[in-house]
Copies of this chain bind each other. A is one copy, B any other.
Amino acid sequence: MSGRQAVVLLSGGLDSMVCAALAREQGFGVLALTIDYHQRHRIELEAAKRIAATLAERHIVLPIDLTAFGGSALTSDIAVPKDGVAPGIPVTYVPARNTVFLSLALACAEAAGARDLFVGVNALDYSGYPDCRPDFIAAFEALANLGTKAGVEGDPFTLHAPLQRMTKADIAREAARLGLNAGVSHSCYDPATDGGACGLCDACRLRAKGFEEAGLPDPTRYASS
Contacts and interface: CB of A to CB of B under 8 A. Distances in A.
Interface of A: 60, 62-66, 68-72, 89, 93-100, 102-104, 106-108, 110-112, 130-131, 133, 135-136, 139-140, 142-144, 146-149, 151-153
Given A70-B111, A95-B148, A139-B147, 14 more contacts: A63-B64, A69-B107, A89-B149, A95-B106, A95-B110, A95-B149, A96-B148, A99-B103, A99-B143, A99-B144, A100-B104, A131-B146, A135-B146, A143-B143
A75 to B, nearest CB: 9
Contacts of A106: 95-96, 99-100
Q: Which 9 residue pairs are nearest across A and B when measured between Cβ atoms?
A: A71-B111, A95-B110, A96-B107, A69-B111, A131-B147, A103-B103, A100-B103, A130-B152, A96-B106
B111 A130 contact: no
Contacts of A151: 130
A111 B97 CA distance: 11
A97 B107 contact: yes
A69 B114 CA distance: 12
Contacts of A97: 107
A66 B110 CA distance: 12
A106 B66 CA distance: 12
Contacts of A69: 60, 107-108, 111-112
A176 to B, nearest CB: 32
Contact of A107 (B89, B99, B135): B99
A139 B146 contact: yes
Contacts of A110: 71, 95-96
A150 to B, nearest CB: 8
A69 B64 CA distance: 14
A17 B96 CA distance: 25
Contacts of A100: 100, 103-104, 106-107
A111 B96 CA distance: 9
